[in-house]
Every structure is written in structure tokens, then in C-alpha cells.
Amino acid sequence: MNRSHPARGLLAATAVTGLLTATSCAPSHQHATGAAGRAPAVATTAEPPEETLEPLLEQALPGVKGKTFTSALVTFPPGGRAAPHRHGTAFVYAYVLEGSFRSRLAGEPVRTYRRGDSWTEQPGAHHVLTENTSGTQPGRLLVIFISDTGSQLKTED
């Protein structure tokens, strides 16, 4: 079993965050505050909240030159959704840890995935819908990317 040392995990988090700069994913510990430390008012017409990403591990694949394994926890707040996107040349595996998600790749029907379900995305697939089906509970995914080393992992439309 490969266990990651905390310092290496921090380095991996920094590297993965750099690879994901084109995403809407922001660290979950960043919150804007207004006067007296209160969160600013949010207009009721705002878009649904987006997902946050917590990088776990980035590692070159042994014996597979030019390919990298990257894992991350992706949390969707209640009613949260991702903007339509692609993952470039990455092969993607997503596993539902908590909650329920509606997902659709271009050219395919909408599918619902619950805790314990998983799906894959082929390189270049257009992910047009990913949303937490609950308006009251967060949802979490474990997402694995097998990508070209140094490539961008997510590009929003």
C-alpha cells in the first residue's frame, strides 16, 4: 500500500493546483467576508454554487513514460454544479463517496450516480452536466486522472 507522506502531499497539492488553474475549483478554506466578519450578501439570482477541489496525490506512472496519476476529492455544496468542461487528454475515473449526482457527457443520456457508483470519461469527452442532486446535503467525489505529464486537467467551456 502506498501511503503519502504529509510533506509530499503538500507538494503534490501545490503541483495539482497549478495544473487545475483553469478550473472554477477554489480551495474550500477561502471565503470572502464583509463587515464584522460576516459573509457578504449574495443575490438570489446567482448561479448555483460550484465545486471545490482538494488535491490528494500527483505521481508519475512508473514504467509509463510521459503519463501522470492525479487524484483529488471534489466537493459539491447542496445544489452545486460544475460548468461544462473537458479534461483534455486525461482519462478520468469518478467515484461517488457521498450524495447523488446527475451527470451527462455530450451525446449520452443524463445519468444519476449514488454513493458507491462510478463512471469514466474518455480523453476529450465533453462533460456538459455534473450536479449535486440534493439541495440540502453536500456531495463528494474521488476523481482520478491519468494524463499527459504537465497537461492541463480541466478546461471550462
C-alpha to C-alpha distances, 152 to 26, 63, 101, 148, nearest whole angstrom: 16, 22, 24, 9
100-123 pLDDT per residue, tens: 999 999 999 999 999 999 999 999
12-16-21 Cα angle (round to 5): 150
User: Which of the 8 DSSP states describes residue 7?
Assistant: H
The stretch 9-35 carries a mean pLDDT of 39
Q: What is the pLDDT of residue 29?
A: 35
Question: Confidence class of residue 47 from pLDDT cuts 50, 70 and 90?
Answer: confident
Distance between CA 18 and CA 29 in Å, rounded?
A: 17
Per-residue pLDDT, 25: 38
Q: How far apart are CA 110 and CA 133, in angstroms?
A: 12
Supply the pLDDT for residue 96.
98
pLDDT at residue 57 above 60? yes
Q: Return the pLDDT at 135.
A: 95
- Rounded Cα gap, residues 156 and 57, in angstroms: 22
